[in-house]
Chains A and B, each alone.
Chain A
């Protein structure tokens, strides 16, 4: 019994769409376009965001080497080997990075150990108040992130003491770093000092390289390192300058606006088409009501038709959007785009909402049709 109710319902939905293929195709095209644009834009957005989340701070660097996730640290001996492997002409700058908690006379802070001699080229975007520490093994001067300096109320030239048991080491603050990134929160000290102080000789968390890539060397180097150091992760990272970062934000905004505009256009198009389609079908709905159909059922029939079209459009739109994302990714960012889970969710939710929104008014109007007027035989 329930089965026959359902099958008549299904019949009404599917047959009615089949009869009006031309309008259905228009609705499908509009919804597919909307879904494709959402997929493409959101795909690029999330992927680029993710790719850059821990790499944005390395504006100057374009190559990352680190331990595989489960294997603690990167040995600086390995780092030296890698440096030795790189063609001298291609290597612009590089430094291992080591992080650790240190006790100062004020409070406990995160220290970042780097090779100061390399930082001018590796982190050219650092805005420095005072001066950069320019010597690799400087044990008297440090730099400090601007946020940390502000919190500790430290000025250029001030002293800061590191404490460990009875040990005490005094540094002078030579420069305050403002990068807009995480370094703003760190005390930046020379790597070999930090390794000694933390009893982690030979260790770093990862290393960043700035490698000349004018002939696409980076990917070759990545291949080579992968073979020679299978225990390490070596990969190129998107090289983004600070100003490029701002452009990127604008591109993201632009993508959002484009997606929104297309979505609105697609809603309008679907709405217009459905309005025409429903007014063609007034007699059908009037008849169904005269035969005893509950008005709600007319509404639900139209919504089911709409959802069916939305479903087909989402499948088509995801496929088309994937292709579009790759084209966008390659032309704008020179990278292929992985479509991430939130993109699917977003595409489905937005497409379904758009379709239902577009169908709502035509459906309500169809539901309110007056059979006495429409069916009257003149």
Chain B
């Protein structure tokens, strides 16, 4: 197995004429907590989509847990998402007609089998033990995002991808989310987090800065 959770070599992504990613070479070690920063439109989301197999790249190589992404078919990419990664978005994407608990169990459902006790346990871990049977519409933004975190964690996937996970949260909730991330980091999870906020960068091992689709700076903390 590779020492890197993810690695890109000469990664290029074009949308027609727009070159969203231009010769990106990054490598994230297993257990590392990395922040990807950059102005709006610099290509952060595009990079995340490629690393999470939600999109395909135009040129270069992408290794996901040692496996080359372009060799994966639709089913292989789906398996990678279900088995290896937890996903967190800026918006709190939850199924509106399922309770917090059922939303978490949905990730188990697509991963393997639903186990209610395990799902309850992660919800308790993110401080939502008392909110399990609420629908998303009955939860605050911070609580919804914590349900999303619980869902990303429930399958014990080794890599967590978070695209501006605190972008829609107030400071108090941002702090809660970051605390959870730090606990995960302490437990050897690999975390790749996109953020606008330079303060958040300090919590991580390393900051990778993008500009116009290129890596312009890498800072080790």
Q: Contact check, A11 vs B45: say whether CB atoms are below 8 A apart.
A: no
Q: Contact check, B113 vs A291: say whether CB atoms are below 8 A apart.
A: no
Q: Contact check, B113 vs A15: say whether CB atoms are below 8 A apart.
A: no
Assembled-state Cα–Cα distance A295/B168 (Å) = 29
Q: Contact check, A292 vs B164: say whether CB atoms are below 8 A apart.
A: no
Q: Contact check, A372 vs B106: say whether CB atoms are below 8 A apart.
A: no
Residues B20-72 near A (CB distance < 8 A): 45, 49, 52, 54-55
Residue from the list A5, A11, A289, A376 in contact with B98, Cβ < 8 A:
A11
Do A19 and B97 form a contact, CB below 8 Å, given A11-B102, A291-B87, A377-B45? Answer: yes
Which residues of chain B have C-beta atoms less than 8 A from A195's C-beta? none
Q: Contact check, A1 vs B110: say whether CB atoms are below 8 A apart.
A: no
Q: Contact check, B95 vs A8: say whether CB atoms are below 8 A apart.
A: no
Q: Contact check, B109 vs A5: say whether CB atoms are below 8 A apart.
A: yes
Q: Contact check, B114 vs A4: say whether CB atoms are below 8 A apart.
A: yes
Which residues of chain A have C-beta atoms less than 8 A from B97's C-beta? 15-16, 18-19
Which residues of chain B have C-beta atoms less than 8 A from A289's C-beta? 78
Assembled-state Cα–Cα distance A263/B100 (Å) = 41
Q: Contact check, B102 vs A292: say whether CB atoms are below 8 A apart.
A: no
Q: Is A287 an interface residue (CB 8 A)?
A: yes
Which residues of chain B have C-beta atoms less than 8 A from A7's C-beta? 114
Which residue on chain A has the smallest CB distance to residue B49? Answer: A372
B: contact size bracket: 35 or more
Which residue on chain B has the smallest CB distance to residue A287? Answer: B93
B174 CB, min distance to chain A CBs, angstroms = 15
Q: Is B214 an interface residue (CB 8 A)?
A: no
Which residues of chain A have C-beta atoms less than 8 A from B110's C-beta? 288, 291-293
Assembled-state Cα–Cα distance A154/B97 (Å) = 81
Q: Contact check, B78 vs A377: say whether CB atoms are below 8 A apart.
A: no
Which residues of chain A have C-beta atoms less than 8 A from B114's C-beta? 4-5, 7-8
Which residue on chain A has the smallest CB distance to residue B77? Answer: A292
Q: Contact check, A283 vs B93: say whether CB atoms are below 8 A apart.
A: yes
Q: Mark A1-38, 1 if CB is under 8 A from B, else 0.
A: 10011011001100110110000000000000000000
Interface hub of A19, A286, A289, A372 (most chain B Cβ within 10 A): A372
Assembled-state Cα–Cα distance A11/B151 (Å) = 17
How many residues of A are counted as interface, with CB atoms below 8 angstroms from the partner's CB atoms? 28
Which residue on chain A has the smallest CB distance to residue B50? Answer: A372
A16 CB, min distance to chain B CBs, angstroms = 5
Q: Is B146 an interface residue (CB 8 A)?
A: no
Q: Mark B167-191, 1 if CB is under 8 A from A, else 0.
A: 1100000000000000000000000
Assembled-state Cα–Cα distance A289/B52 (Å) = 12
Residue from the list A1, A19, A292, A375 in contact with B89, Cβ < 8 A:
A375
Assembled-state Cα–Cα distance A11/B99 (Å) = 11
Q: Contact check, A376 vs B82: say whether CB atoms are below 8 A apart.
A: no
Assembled-state Cα–Cα distance A12/B95 (Å) = 9
Which residues of chain B have C-beta atoms less than 8 A from A286's C-beta? 93
Do A372 and B78 form a contact, CB below 8 Å, given A8-B114, A19-B97, A283-B93? Answer: no
Q: Contact check, B96 vs A19: say whether CB atoms are below 8 A apart.
A: yes
Q: Is A290 an interface residue (CB 8 A)?
A: yes
Q: Contact check, A377 vs B74: say whether CB atoms are below 8 A apart.
A: no
Q: Is A117 an interface residue (CB 8 A)?
A: no
Q: Is B211 an interface residue (CB 8 A)?
A: no
Q: Contact check, B113 vs A287: say whether CB atoms are below 8 A apart.
A: no
Q: Contact check, B98 vs A15: say whether CB atoms are below 8 A apart.
A: yes
Assembled-state Cα–Cα distance A11/B110 (Å) = 14
Binding site for A on B (CB under 8 A): 45, 49, 52, 54-55, 74-75, 78-79, 81-83, 87, 89-91, 93-98, 102, 105-107, 109-111, 113-114, 151, 163-164, 167-168
6 further interface pairs, Cβ-Cβ under 8 Å (given A292-B107, A377-B163): A5-B109, A15-B98, A18-B97, A292-B78, A372-B55, A376-B49
Shortest 4 CB-CB contacts between residues of A and residues of B: A292-B82, A377-B90, A292-B110, A19-B97
Q: What are some 8 contacts across the A-B interface (CB < 8 A)?
A: A4-B114, A8-B109, A11-B102, A15-B97, A19-B97, A290-B87, A291-B106, A293-B110
